[in-house]
Amino acid sequence: MVSNLMKFVVSHKKIPILHVNNMCCSKMRASLQRLKSHVPLGRNYSSLPGLIGNDIKSLHSVINPPIAKIRNIGIMAHIDAGKTTTTERILYYSGYTRSLGDVDDGDTVTDFMAQERERGITIQSAAVTFDWKGYRVNLIDTPGHVDFTLEVERCLRVLDGAVAVFDASAGVEAQTLTVWRQADKHRIPRICFLNKMDKTGASFKYAVESIREKLKAKPLLLQLPLGEGKAFKGVVDVVNKEKLLWNPNSDDGKDFVRNPLLEMSDPELLKETTEARNALIEQLQTAIRRVTLAQTAVPVLCGSALKNKGVQPLLDAVTVYLPSPEERNYEFLPWYKGDLCALAFKVLHDKQRGPLVFMRIYSGMIKPQLAIYNINGNCTERISRLLLPFADQHIEIPSLTAGNIALTVGLKHTATGDTIASSKSSALAAARRAETEGGKKHRRNNEAERLLLAGVEIPEPVFFCTIEPPSVAKQPDLDYVLKCLQREDPSLKVKLDADSGQTVLCGMGELHIEIIHDRIKREYGLETYLGPLQVAYRETILNAVRATDTLDRTLGDKRHLVTVELEVKPVETASVMPVIEYAGSVSEDLPTASQEAIENGIHSACLQGPLLGSPVQDVAVAVHSLVIHPGTSTTMISACVSRCIQKALKKADKQVLEPLMKLEVTVTRDYLSLVLADLAQRRGTIQEIQTRQENKIITGFVPLAEIMGYSTVLRTLTSGSATFALELSNYEAMNPQDQTVLLGRRSGLTQVL
Ligand SMILES: Nc1nc2c(ncn2[C@@H]2O[C@H](COP(=O)(O)OP(=O)(O)OP(=O)(O)O)[C@@H](O)[C@H]2O)c(=O)[nH]1
């Protein structure tokens, strides 16, 4: 008994969960205040359910609840909509924490990484597990900043449902649209929570309309607010015709009453509620849950996380309307026939325990000491310990079954996005089933590929800069740190500049690179120096050009001789992957190894264009003839093809393409003209200016090169009253004058992207 109990030790050691960030003004101000006043960061935690006494059986049921009682949900939203505040309330009401954390005081459970506490923003998502009325809820807090969009998308992949949090005074904002589209892509059923109902300017009607218009979703109003702005008191439950009033004298909002609406006391409200209820029932015909799961409509609730109102009904709605893992239709599940299938969706580096891998288990079971097969890495490794991620506490557990989110210790090679099976033979058996059951639909290049679950497109980085260690002797340390960080964050790319020998960091935005730099110092104790931040350009060609090349080299007693004739031509693909065509005479009898060698040569040549050494986009390559002397190695074939393409690209008329960003600025009327004038100077084009209550919303496009450091500029221009969101739109041809200036500036500088 004693030894069994030892297995269920509660770990009180903090494991750093990486977090978020966004330099929004309110949080920056709050964090500065915090730094000045040195607010202590201590938290209280209640003991975990099932761990009291010797009741191992009840602990078992806590660890592996029936799958129908599991809800894997995410919270998604625009920056600052209140995700973290809502999560804090959720943890408090579910009895997990004993005090209410506050983002403005920097003591939330989920945002506990030092950077987050100082900046007041969430960098990467943390999984939080808790129980609510007999349901096991695994909740992923996702970041709102666009630099971490990949993080959001990866988390969506492992969710069964999501809560979209809105600022009720702003409705649908730029980043909400992005994450909503991502959730559409992964077919995630959603509930909307109109937060900040207490805020001046909050408008339930406006926010609902914006959901209808901008998200093209059908809102199902399950609640109506009781007052708005300062007058917000509670909510009306439209389905049950009840008023939910939070006790104004309770400082934590735990105390509230449900009162039926009566004709005598609330005639108007009853009338309004009855109308809304009738509309709801009419509109639906079928059950709310069914339409939510089918994603034909979204239930809408409202509240104020900060003022502790509306969070408990939101949790009820999560358990009632969002699906359990078994209600999600994962086409790959039958292929595994109950064997282990899991997705590693996040890797964290813990100094003491090494890499910690978060996994969503789709089928089968995970145990400590289990050997698992990583399909992406084609390697087998062993899990040493298994933990349940209760925010910054982790309990050690003996097993975890399908539908759950696990935290594993001991996996050294598994990276974010990897698919896990129990063994290579199990993965191969699943791949065979996929082929027979899925037919042509799933036929891809190789068996393993068919099973990869991640399917998250990693966007190309738009920024890069050099990074240097404090001394040459520290270069291996830097290489190691960057390798660890890349396992956690696949959107971070690291390259070596062949000419200067310098290490180059490539990231999704200024903030992304800044955070990486900061983490290298804080988490790994390595001081590094960053070179100036540069924009990642691309190149293309404007006309078709033919070229021929011969490579004739004797190595030892072996002659390698290959002659190729090819043509590069412009096509519109918006991609850096060249379209490859073969003349009939070439493709006939072309051995697979030679074809691979040709394609490797084409891809590597297109990575470095002749103008700036940046990737070449929108090109097709037609291989017209190819003569290979017997015995010529594939490396020589690749080298010859690559050289021939570079020759052709040099001869063509060339064009630099620059990243164009979609920009949304929210500004008060007083500052509108100042912001517009500044954008005009930045080669910006304005698409439209909308009015949202007191504010003007400017949307438009601006080249990335012109918008670096914009947060500081905008803050100065508008005395900190404006906010903005940026997102990569596309790559656009630079005009000839700007291109000449850029090429002049860059001559002498090497670009590695
Ligand atoms: N008035 C009001 N303010 C709120 C409410 N919820 C959150 N806030 C405030 O809004 C700001 C942002 O809240 P967070 O919870 O950090 O928002 P977030 O969505 O997690 O932010 P990111 O992680 O940076 O994307 C903080 O200053 C909160 O105090 C609310 O219901 N009413």
Q: Give tens-digit pLDDT for 485-518.
A: 888 887 788 988 777 788 989 887 787 888 889 8
655 lines ligand 1 (CB under 6 A): no
Instruction: Give the C-alpha separation, 304 to 197, whole Å.
Output: 5
78 lines ligand 1 (CB under 6 A): no
Torsion sign, CA atoms 706, 712, 716, 720: positive
- 744 carries a ligand binding annotation: no
Of 199, 156, 452, nearest in space to 304 by CA: 199
103 lines ligand 1 (CB under 6 A): yes
Torsion sign, CA atoms 665, 668, 674, 680: positive
pLDDT, residue 272, reads 86
Cα–Cα distances in Å, from 130 out to 11, 87, 97, 292, 443? 16, 11, 10, 23, 40
pLDDT category of residue 241 using cuts at 50, 70 and 90: confident
Q: Specify which residues 723 forms β-bridges with.
A: 666
Look up residue 60 and give its two tokens: 């078992």
pLDDT, residue 587, reads 81
pTM of the full structure = 0.65
- 111 carries a ligand binding annotation: no
151 lines ligand 1 (CB under 6 A): no
- 521 carries a ligand binding annotation: no
d(CA 278, ligand 1 centre) in Å: 34
pLDDT category of residue 62 using cuts at 50, 70 and 90: low
Q: Which of 486-495, 667-676, 678-687 has the lowest mean pLDDT?
A: 486-495
80 lines ligand 1 (CB under 6 A): yes
pLDDT at 204 over 90: yes
Look up residue 695 and give its two tokens: 């504010």
DSSP for 682-699 reads TT-EEEEEEEETTEEEEE
The stretch 66-82 carries a mean pLDDT of 87
Question: Is 116:123 a contact under the CB 8 Å cutoff?
Answer: yes
d(CA 81, ligand 1 centre) in Å: 5
170 lines ligand 1 (CB under 6 A): no
The stretch 683-695 carries a mean pLDDT of 87
pLDDT, residue 688, reads 92
Q: What is the DSSP letter of 52?
A: S
pLDDT, residue 249, reads 75
101 lines ligand 1 (CB under 6 A): no
Q: What is the DSSP letter of 515?
A: H
pLDDT at 24 over 50: no
Ligand 1 atom having least distance to the Cα of 102: 29
d(CA 118, ligand 1 centre) in Å: 15
Instruction: Give the C-alpha separation, 157 to 173, whole Å.
Output: 22
20 lines ligand 1 (CB under 6 A): yes
Mean pLDDT of the chain: 79
pLDDT category of residue 169 using cuts at 50, 70 and 90: very high
- 83 carries a ligand binding annotation: yes
Secondary element (H or E) of residue 314: helix 311-321
Instruction: Give the C-alpha separation, 1 to 201, whole Å.
Output: 60
Q: Whose CA is nearest to atom 12 of ligand 1?
A: 80
569 lines ligand 1 (CB under 6 A): no
pLDDT category of residue 261 using cuts at 50, 70 and 90: confident
Q: Which of 20-24, 371-375, 628-632, 735-739 has the lowest mean pLDDT?
A: 20-24
Write the pLDDT tens digit of every residue in 130-145.
Answer: 888 889 888 876 654 5
pLDDT at 731 over 70: yes
118 lines ligand 1 (CB under 6 A): no
Ligand 1 atom having least distance to the Cα of 86: 15
d(CA 82, ligand 1 centre) in Å: 3
Give the whole-number percent of the chain exceeding pLDDT 70.
Answer: 80
d(CA 180, ligand 1 centre) in Å: 19
113 lines ligand 1 (CB under 6 A): no
- 81 carries a ligand binding annotation: yes
pLDDT, residue 238, reads 86
CA angle, 22 then 24 then 28, to 5°: 95
Instruction: Give the C-alpha separation, 116 to 22, whole Å.
Output: 9
82 lines ligand 1 (CB under 6 A): yes
Most confident listed range (169-183, 244-258, 528-542): 528-542
Most confident listed range (56-65, 89-98, 545-554, 716-725): 545-554
Write the pLDDT tens digit of every residue in 637-648.
Answer: 999 999 999 999
Of 574, 650, 571, 561, nearest in space to 605 by CA: 650
- 95 carries a ligand binding annotation: no
pLDDT, residue 454, reads 53
pLDDT, residue 112, reads 46
194 lines ligand 1 (CB under 6 A): no
Instruction: Give the C-alpha separation, 567 to 549, whole Å.
Output: 12
pLDDT at 346 over 50: yes
Q: Higher-confidence residue: 605 or 5? A: 605
Q: Whose CA is nearest to atom 4 of ligand 1?
A: 306
Most confident listed range (93-107, 260-274, 387-401): 260-274
Instruction: Give the C-alpha separation, 600 to 606, whole Å.
Output: 10
76 lines ligand 1 (CB under 6 A): no
Number of other residues whose CB lies within 10 A of the CB of residue 384: 14
Q: Which of 89-98, 380-389, 461-470, 586-595 has the lowest mean pLDDT?
A: 89-98
pLDDT, residue 14, reads 28
pLDDT category of residue 265 using cuts at 50, 70 and 90: confident
Most confident listed range (14-23, 321-330, 364-373, 392-401): 364-373
d(CA 477, ligand 1 centre) in Å: 38
d(CA 196, ligand 1 centre) in Å: 8
228 lines ligand 1 (CB under 6 A): no
Q: Whose CA is nearest to atom 2 of ligand 1?
A: 196
Helix (H, G, I), strand (E, B) or coil at 562: strand
Most confident listed range (124-138, 173-187, 536-550): 536-550
Ligand 1 atom having least distance to the Cα of 27: 27
Q: Whose CA is nearest to atom 8 of ligand 1?
A: 82
Ligand 1 site-directed mutation target among 20, 84, 149, 163, most atoms within 8 Å of CB: 84
411 lines ligand 1 (CB under 6 A): no
At 606, give phi and psi (nearest 5°): -75, -10
Instruction: Find the DSSP H helices in 38-169.
Output: 56-63, 83-93, 114-119, 149-157
The stretch 76-83 carries a mean pLDDT of 84
192 lines ligand 1 (CB under 6 A): no
723 lines ligand 1 (CB under 6 A): no
Question: Is 295:180 a contact under the CB 8 Å cutoff?
Answer: no
pLDDT, residue 164, reads 93
Instruction: Give the C-alpha separation, 161 to 75, whole Å.
Output: 9
d(CA 121, ligand 1 centre) in Å: 10
Euclidean distance between the first and the last CA atom of the chain, given in angstroms as a whole number: 60
d(CA 300, ligand 1 centre) in Å: 19
Ligand 1 atom having least distance to the Cα of 304: 31
Instruction: Give the C-alpha separation, 416 to 414, whole Å.
Output: 7
pLDDT, residue 105, reads 56
Secondary element (H or E) of residue 634: helix 634-651
- 82 carries a ligand binding annotation: yes
157 lines ligand 1 (CB under 6 A): no
- 1 carries a ligand binding annotation: no
- 632 carries a ligand binding annotation: no
Helix (H, G, I), strand (E, B) or coil at 615: coil
d(CA 336, ligand 1 centre) in Å: 42
The stretch 714-738 carries a mean pLDDT of 84
- 560 carries a ligand binding annotation: no
304 lines ligand 1 (CB under 6 A): yes
d(CA 663, ligand 1 centre) in Å: 22
79 lines ligand 1 (CB under 6 A): yes
